Amino acid sequence: MPCGEDWLSHPLGIVQGFFAQNGVNPDWEKKVIEYFKEKLKENNAPKWVPSLNEVPLHYLKPNSFVKFRCMIQDMFDPEFYMGIYETVNRNTKARVLHFGKYRDVAECGPQQEVDLNSPRTTTLERQTFYCVPVPGESTWVKEAYVNANQVRVSPSTSYTPSRHKRSYEDDEEMDLRPNKQKEQHAGARQAGRGVGLQWCGETKRLETEASTGQQLNFLHLSSPFDLNFPLPGETGPACLVKVYEDWDCFKVNDVVELYGVLSVEPVLSVPSHDERETSSLLDPMECTDTSEEQRVHSPPASLVPRIHVVLAQKLQHINPLLPACLNKEESKSCKFVSDFMSELSPVRAELLGFLTHALLGDGLAAEYLILHLISTVYTRRDVLPLGKFTLNLSGCPRSSTFTEHLYRIIQHLVPAAFRLQMTIENMNHLKFVPHKDYAANRLVSGLLQLPSSTSLVIDETLLEQGQLDTPGVHNVAALSNLITWQKVDYDFSYHRMEFPCNVNVLITSEGRSLLPADCQLHLQPQIIPPNMEEYMNSLLSAVLPSVLSKFRIYLTLLRFLDYSISDEITKAVEDDFVEMRKNDPQSVTADDLHQLLIVARFLSLSAGQTTLSRERWLRAKHLESLRRTRLQQQKCVNGNEL
């Protein structure tokens, strides 16, 4: 373990040391950040930092140093806090400066109180993010992170989930204090409410809470707190994240890794008596809005802990088998990456064979599925996203569980995935598009609030005859919008706001999908297993864990490779296209050229080639010819368009 546990168990003590050395000089804040940066570079130190993704909250010590891998689901309004404040000893009148950064509660010692009128008090601003675990994160990703971490924890003795309930003796102490002291405490709370810090007092904190009965009455006014996860069935903690530097670098739906100070102060989730009295004097509608917003923005700390961020970084991917940075210069010289690229060809061949078996012996479908899985939006020209490759796999058997098991296979290969069962009931009742709740002043999540590189499998084989109501029509339109433009229009009631995305969409259907797709491929099974579940399970169990890891590295790594076309090949492609137009002017269009270039791009990258060669161009033409021939044959068999 890294030398010295203080920075892990008592990070605020480290911060206090820098603050004491530098006083009001702002350099102390930079020194704190540099200190923790250097600490995390030592001896695999990140593996020793407890993660909220893996360690239950009640096992973590309050005010300890933790990390959290998450997606920014919402951004609340900035809040003010007391960056520096001064306390006065009531007996000796001695004055002490304190820092408020990385804290929710203003700490002070016995016989001390905060001097709210001190000229040395500094008010600063911080941003609050509402963060949730990465939606759709695959089980193998979670397990790999758990296995990589070297933290071994036991339940914290200094924190229990019921800590927010004060004992009967504490209530008596509160009632027996002199009236003057109570007034001082009330004044401190009233003055401090606008600056984001609760106040300390006689027993190390000057917090005053409502009685237990009043707390319960308040909690019963509202429905149980919704953690606002975008996808159903998600587990893990949501966190309120306090960011102090460079918050403009982050945006909603970014996947980030945070390092910071854990705060689970129970007073944060308890409304003060004064606030409830004030609310009751407001207009009834305003009172409802105020209490609802307060409930959402100040949830129980035992349910939604706070993290005060010391260090934060955007994650380009969440694959634990790869280095964190893949598109920077240093990654090009990374030995791990160069070694893997040298053995890419056999990995591709094994993956092709594996997917061919998963697709019931259809090798052409396996080729296109590989291209789909490594596709990514690499740039946007005006509103057009370049690099998207939505695949419609038609001809899927309706009566079997083929699509469900194919999704399981994909889950074992990619870091994040979600299967949307496209039934009439789901389309009419599920919330696809996030919308703004102005009463609670928060963004209510929807199914399409997904992080970059998520694999979305839409199972259209479950669709039956029925009537789509208005929400259902809007949901279908949202899916079409996502597929065509790689964006989701979030609903802000009075207007819609575009949020760009980068989601790989695979549509499984019997005939041609009702949704738009970049490429339709009709499945031609070569084998029909009598027991689909048994067949797919045996396929997965036959793959060695080391081989499966190579598949996972392959599919993530290739998304980050650069790609270019030389002038010579560009000229050859142009000449070839002109020749194709001459031979078949009615069928060959500019869209066909675009499709060929996309297939050629990902075909080259799938072989580890970052430039287009003549060989790969001819191979792309051959694959497209086979695909089109198959569709034409199916059209002739059925007598209608697929």
Q: Quick one: pLDDT at residue 161?
A: 42
Query: pTM for the complete prediction?
Result: 0.86
Report the C-alpha gap between 476 and 473 in whole angstroms.
Answer: 5
How much of the chain, in percent, has pLDDT values that exceed 70? 82
Please provide the distance, in angstroms rounded to a whole number, between the alpha carbons at the two ends of the chain: 61
Report the C-alpha gap between 250 and 499 in whole angstroms.
Answer: 14
Per-residue pLDDT for 367 more than 90? yes
- The torsion angles phi and psi of 441, rounded to 5 degrees, stand at 55, 55
Instruction: Report in angstroms the alpha-carbon separations of 577 from 490, 581, 582, 617.
Output: 40, 6, 9, 11
H-helix segments, 512-613: 532-542, 545-557, 567-583, 590-606
Once rounded to an integer, what is the mean pLDDT over residues 508-514? Answer: 95
Q: Quick one: pLDDT at residue 331?
A: 54
Relative to beta strand 95-99, strand 122-132 is unpaired
- Cβ contact 331:284 at 8 Å: no
At 368, the pLDDT band (50, 70, 90 cuts) reads very high
Q: Quick one: pLDDT at residue 164?
A: 38
Q: Quick one: pLDDT at residue 71?
A: 98
Please tell me the least confidently modeled range out of 244-248, 379-383, 637-641.
637-641
Per-residue pLDDT for 393 more than 80? yes
Per-residue pLDDT for 162 more than 70? no
Once rounded to an integer, what is the mean pLDDT over residues 151-165? Answer: 52
Once rounded to an integer, what is the mean pLDDT over residues 535-564? Answer: 96
Report the C-alpha gap between 221 and 24 in whole angstroms.
Answer: 44
Report the C-alpha gap between 279 and 359 in whole angstroms.
Answer: 61
Instruction: State the average pLDDT for the chain.
Output: 84
Once rounded to an integer, what is the mean pLDDT over residues 543-558? Answer: 96
Once rounded to an integer, what is the mean pLDDT over residues 189-210? Answer: 40
Q: Quick one: pLDDT at residue 327?
A: 60
At 222, the pLDDT band (50, 70, 90 cuts) reads very low
| Size of the chain in residues | 642
Please tell me the least confidently modeled range out of 28-37, 170-179, 239-248, 376-385.
170-179
- The torsion angles phi and psi of 122, rounded to 5 degrees, stand at -120, 130
Q: Quick one: pLDDT at residue 172?
A: 36
Once rounded to an integer, what is the mean pLDDT over residues 520-535? Answer: 94
Q: Quick one: pLDDT at residue 208?
A: 29
Once rounded to an integer, what is the mean pLDDT over residues 84-103? Answer: 91
Per-residue pLDDT for 196 more than 90? no
Note the pLDDT tens digit of each residue in 9-60: 999 999 999 998 887 677 899 999 999 999 999 888 899 999 999 999 999 9
Note the pLDDT tens digit of each residue in 597-608: 999 999 999 999
Report the C-alpha gap between 417 and 36 in whole angstroms.
Answer: 34
Once rounded to an integer, what is the mean pLDDT over residues 271-279? Answer: 48
Per-residue pLDDT for 281 more than 70? no
Q: Quick one: pLDDT at residue 166?
A: 37
Q: Which has more confidence, 81 or 185?
A: 81
Once rounded to an integer, what is the mean pLDDT over residues 227-256? Answer: 94
Please tell me the least confidently modeled range out of 65-79, 132-146, 318-332.
318-332
Note the pLDDT tens digit of each residue in 76-85: 999 999 999 9
Note the pLDDT tens digit of each residue in 319-343: 999 988 776 455 555 788 888 998 8
H-helix segments, 5-73: 6-9, 11-22, 27-40
- Cβ contact 607:616 at 8 Å: yes
Once rounded to an integer, what is the mean pLDDT over residues 551-561? Answer: 95
Note the pLDDT tens digit of each residue in 425-472: 999 999 999 999 999 999 999 999 999 999 999 999 999 899 999 999
Report the C-alpha gap between 34 and 15 in whole angstroms.
Answer: 11
248, with CB counted inside 10 A (0-12, 13-18, 19+), is: exposed
Report the C-alpha gap between 514 and 508 in whole angstroms.
Answer: 11
